[in-house]
């Protein structure tokens, strides 16, 4: 092989290697870009222990890179309520109204959800934000549900008893007045006039008896 041929061969090899390297770099860059596009969403939540007030709970802070919702579930995973649609960014004191108020307290879980585009929450269509380990972004809190105050319950019971007693007394008075009125009417129909007639009849009977005896 002449020197010119050797030079040409080396040049071709270098160009071929450069082409392969550029292609590999482009492929790697494309894969990295795709991976970044898949994992560019992020969220954080702060959900503190609290009492249930007026059927609502409060998430102290929600940071949603792509907007979405905060849904609250019980320990069994049943969705109890969700926030309104939240724009991308940081939101403080996010209110979550519960559609079904629990009878007792327990562990509740707030989870960040993406929106499918219609700005209307649907647990089956709006996926949860996930972290780098593909675990849903959530925060747990213990929620207390206040039972009715014993004094208020006693007062309500007493009021009900007093109302019943007053109703019974009123009915008794009404019945007594009705009975008195009936008695008075009977007495009037059998009053002094009736007594005089009875006396006259008695005298006539006595006279008739005497006359027959004679």
pLDDT for 99 beyond 60: yes
Cβ atoms of 87 and 79 closer than 8 Å = no
- Here the CATH number for the domain that contains residue 62 is 2.60.40.10
Domain end position, chosen among 92, 118, 144: 144
Side by side, which strands form the sheet with 89-98?
43-46, 56-64, 89-98, 79-82, 69-74, 106-113, 138-144, 50-51
| Same-domain pairing of 138 and 166 | no
| Same-domain pairing of 161 and 180 | yes
pLDDT in tens, 105-156: 999 999 999 999 999 999 999 999 999 999 999 999 999 998 766 445 456 5
| Same-domain pairing of 61 and 100 | yes
- Tell whether pTM > 0.75: no
| Same-domain pairing of 86 and 161 | no
16 vs 27: which has the higher pLDDT:
16
Q: What is the dihedral of CA 120, 121, 123, 125, to 10 degrees?
A: 30
- Number of helical H runs and strand E runs in the chain: 3, 8
Q: Which residue's entry shows tokens 């550029």?
A: 22
| Same-domain pairing of 71 and 2 | no
| Same-domain pairing of 116 and 99 | yes
Question: How much of the chain exceeds pLDDT 90, in percent?
Answer: 47
| Same-domain pairing of 164 and 136 | no
- Please state the rounded mean pLDDT for residues 149-178: 61
| Same-domain pairing of 55 and 129 | yes
| Same-domain pairing of 101 and 179 | no
- Please state the rounded mean pLDDT for residues 69-84: 96
Q: How many domains does the chain have?
A: 3
pLDDT for 50 beyond 70: yes
| Same-domain pairing of 23 and 11 | yes
Split at pLDDT 50, 70, 90, the class of 72 is very high
Q: Would you state the pLDDT for residue 24?
A: 42
| Same-domain pairing of 112 and 185 | no
203 vs 11: which has the higher pLDDT:
203
Domain end position, chosen among 144, 163, 183: 144
Please provide the average confidence, as pLDDT, over all residues in the chain: 75
Lowest mean pLDDT among 17-26, 63-72, 141-150, 196-205: 17-26
* Enclosing domain of residue 190: 151-213
| Same-domain pairing of 128 and 157 | no
pLDDT for 34 beyond 60: no
Could you tell me the CA-to-CA distances from 56 to 50, 62, 101 in Å, in that order?
A: 10, 16, 9
Token pair belonging to 29? 């860059």
Q: Would you state the pLDDT for residue 92?
A: 98
């Amino acid at each position: 092989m002449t020197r010119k041929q050797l030079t040409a061969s080396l040049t071709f090899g270098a160009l071929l290697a450069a082409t392969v390297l550029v292609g590999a770099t482009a492929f790697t860059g494309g894969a990295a870009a795709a991976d970044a596009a898949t994992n560019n969403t992020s969220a954080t939540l702060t959900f503190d222990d609290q009492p249930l007030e007026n059927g609502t709970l409060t998430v102290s802070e929600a940071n949603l890179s792509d907007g979405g919702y905060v849904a609250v579930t019980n320990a069994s995973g049943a969705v109890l309520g969700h926030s309104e649609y939240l724009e991308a960014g940081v939101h403080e004191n996010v209110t979550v109204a519960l559609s079904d108020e629990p009878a007792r307290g327990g562990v509740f879980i707030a989870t960040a959800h993406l929106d499918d585009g219609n700005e209307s929450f649907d647990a089956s269509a709006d996926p949860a934000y996930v972290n780098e380990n593909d675990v849903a972004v959530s925060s747990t809190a213990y929620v207390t549900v206040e039972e009715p105050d014993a004094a208020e319950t006693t007062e309500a019971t007493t009021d009900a008893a007093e109302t019943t007693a007053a109703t019974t007394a009123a009915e008794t008075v009404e019945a007594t007045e009705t009975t008195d009125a009936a008695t008075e009417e009977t007495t009037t129909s059998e009053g002094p006039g009736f007594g005089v007639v009875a006396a006259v009849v008695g005298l006539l009977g006595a006279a008739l008896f005497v006359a027959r005896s004679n």
